[in-house]
Amino acid sequence: MIALSLAEIAGIVSGRPHDIPDPEARVTGSVEIDSRKVRPGGLFAAFAGEQVDGHDFARTAVDAGAVAVLASRPVPGVPAIVVEDVTEALGALARAVVSRLGTTVVALTGSAGKTSTKDLLAQLLERLGPTVWPPGSFNNEIGLPLTALRADENTRHLVLEMGARGKGHIRHLTGLTPPRVGVVLNVGTAHIGEFGGREQIAEAKGELAEALPAAEEGGLAVLNADDPLVEAMRERTKARTVLFGESAAADIRAEDVRLSDRGNPSFTLRTPTGCSGVTLRLYGEHHVSNALAAAAVAHELGMSVEEIATALSEAGQLSRWRMEVTERSDGVTVVNDAYNANPDSMRAALRALASMGRGRRTWAVLGEMAELGEESLAEHDAVGRLVVRLNVSKLVAVGGREAAWLDMGAKNEGSWGEESVHVSDARAAVDLLRSELCPGDVVLVKASRSVGLERIAGELLDNESGAAGEGEVTGR
């Protein structure tokens, strides 16, 4: 963060200083909401959550070097800036900091692929200059300001992920950190139970396009030509538009898309300035669209097509539990895609599994896709049927009612018997897999984040894959 005095911060957030011996003391470090991450010179934002109250850790944060605490109530003996609402104060601070910087703000949204695209885009833009982007999925009214506050005078690009729980949320986020470049990836069925339908999802996602500056002011909307609901957003923006996709109408497009035996996509990247070959290190054909979105932004910001192709081919997955592929010492391949799931991402992961598992035995260990509302039965049934159509060797449906619907779909689609099994929980799934996995098998683990199926992948890998994933601050 740019250096600010406590007096300046108090003015920005309309806060009341409490037990601050020196109002001119400067915050020079990061803003944190976890006291364990506080470093000297930082600022600790204390949130009173349902399970944990950050105010209880205010003293710990100051002892670790925080200059002060942003709090909703005084903490005796702790220097604090007291505000009515810590979330609103955090947003106000981010808005003030970003307004003082000359950085190019790039925001992206979509029903699926936000985090993977953000990771690809960050790795491309880093080659053009210092770039800040969110860890994991920091994409809501808390996570986005925390990311923005990591930017300083040297930051050339600030990449932000924007999620939504309903109409108005993205509009609010764009007010905190006004973007010059906006990317809309897709409109799918994720969280359709909350939004009410794809048209309502499109209405919410399109708020990003509406928030962009006009073309003459440098505004740029990067839209998916392969998704009619996204392509139509060009009518909702004053910004210049660039289309990406496999459609002939796309300005930045992929041609000759193919998958390796391990599921890595290759394609020819075609741009208005030339073309070049790309082979992604990521797994699954769905990453082609993500790569094109990142390429479109990088191309518009001055990167050559050859540089883009090289950077995409060298880019890795920065965020945990998203098509994270690990081969065990006994030859079993575990694909941990357990961070989240919706019908679109589930279908993409299953197709990737089918490609990766050619000539091998494949396992789909699947759990609930949350927040689908009235569509839940039909969508779970459809995914179960797709498992059979893709010739996946065995489905392990984990959990309660929704898992039973997955199992039902598989059994209704084919003459499956023991090829599909419904188990009650992760422990039962691990026991089953440990008793039946053979060298060479490929196992996909995927469900909504709330199900916690990453524990299955973790136990299958034991200590072979390293550390646990980072915390997340997420929206949709």
pLDDT digit string (tens) for 341-388? 889 889 989 999 998 898 899 999 999 999 898 889 999 999 999 999
pLDDT for 449 equals: 85
For range 278-294, the mean pLDDT: 94
pLDDT for 416 equals: 54
pLDDT for 190 equals: 61
pLDDT for 462 equals: 78
pLDDT for 453 equals: 92
Evaluate if residue 192 carries a pLDDT over 90: no
Evaluate if residue 191 carries a pLDDT over 80: no
pLDDT for 475 equals: 45
For range 31-47, the mean pLDDT: 96
Evaluate if residue 81 carries a pLDDT over 90: yes
Average pLDDT value for the chain: 92
- What distance lies between CA 21 and its chain's CA centroid? 41
pLDDT for 466 equals: 38
Among 37-46, 242-251, 431-440, 459-468, the minimum mean pLDDT is found in 459-468
pLDDT for 474 equals: 47
Band of residue 290 on the pLDDT scale cut at 50, 70, 90:
very high
Read off the tokens for 345: 């991402």
How do residues 267-281 score in pLDDT, each as one tens digit?
999 999 999 999 999
